[in-house]
Amino acid sequence: MNTELLMKEETNAPLQVLRPDGTLVSSEGMPEITDNQLKELMRKMVYTRVWDQRAISLNRQGRLGFYAPVAGQEATMVGSQSALDKEDFILPSYRDIPQIVWHGLPLYQAFLYSRGHQHGGQIPEGVNVLMPQIIIGAQIIQCAGVAMGFKLKQEKQVAVTYIGDGGTSQGDFYEGLNYAGAYKLPAIFIIQNNRYAISVPVEKQTAAKTLAHKAVAVGIPGIQVDGMDILAVYRAVQEAKRRAANGEGPTLIEALTYRFGPHTMAGDDPTRYRTHEELGEWEQKDPLIRFRKFLESKNLWSEQEENAVIEQTKQDIADAIKKTDETPKVRIPDMIDSMFEHLPPHLEEQKAEFLKREGK
């Protein structure tokens, strides 16, 4: 990994490739990426933004269960996932549904997961993801474990996980990073610093100058990037992956981002803990606007192309919701069957009792 991308002095700005107006900071800062890949990044971000808007509406209609909005964080989510290979393994937190869908999980299963349906978590063969972790910080330790498996098998795969700024205060965060650092595991830990752990500002979470500084304690590289700049995120993850695959160990990436909406749709009101002025300032850094300007300056994107993506997204969501609605409801006997390969006697008895109640 480029030494300039490792832990920066606190006086330096986060890694940035594109300014908020869509112009390049420096041509030397561009990651290794083709024009078609640039267009695909934009397609994924537009798709994710429309999907997020629709998911919020579906939640309000009672057609989805738990949902954590992602608008504003698309650059961090799409940029990081797009820098990976299909063989790499993603361990998400509860907001990271876009990454695992772009990594291969069918969209309708993501909707089933939101509804609490068992099939939502039955990951298809060849899709290298776990389902979202609700326990704050647990995915960090799991990521270290998956990465250790890759190292023991001498495989070139990388394990990648995500956590919010508040989650970095959990003990699991430090334990997982320390373990990964001690064994030089092929892991990438991405902090999505959206400034609020629900309602607690990051300044009250820690006295550290940056969350990337937490890498110093466990002896691994840490980097802070502009999380509203998809090319900065892509470059940081691309180079962290190279380090991991080459046996140089893990990297901690702090992406400075912002969620435009509430923490979740479960009653959070962000107007109670942040100002309208602050939201307005971050909306000026909208990752879609920034990247759209950049692509338009290179004649790689048009309004017609974007509208086509929007219409395709709406159709995909309609199809996925239809398939979700048509999926048979979860039966308790089926849930019991999924617990063990061979059921112990007490569960056999419980299953028989439920089947009896169903008249079977």
Strand residue runs (E) in the chain: 89-91, 159-164, 187-193, 196-197, 200-201, 222-226, 251-256
289-317 burial code (b ≥16 CB/10 A, e <16): ebbbbbbeeeeebeeeebeebeeebeebb
Query: Which entry of 259, 292, 342, 357 is annotated as an active-site residue?
Result: 259
Q: Is 273 marked active-site?
A: yes
Furthest C-alpha separation in the chain: 70
| Residue 108 to residue 191: CA distance in whole angstroms | 27
Count of beta carbons in the 10 Å neighbourhood of residue 169: 18
Query: Is-contact 103 128, C-beta < 8 A?
Result: yes
Start-end of H helices in 61-123: 74-82, 97-102, 107-115
Residue from 43, 95, 263, 290 carrying the catalytic annotation: 263
| Catalytic-residue membership of 259 | yes
Indicate if 195 belongs to the active site.
no
Active-site amino acid positions = 259, 263, 273
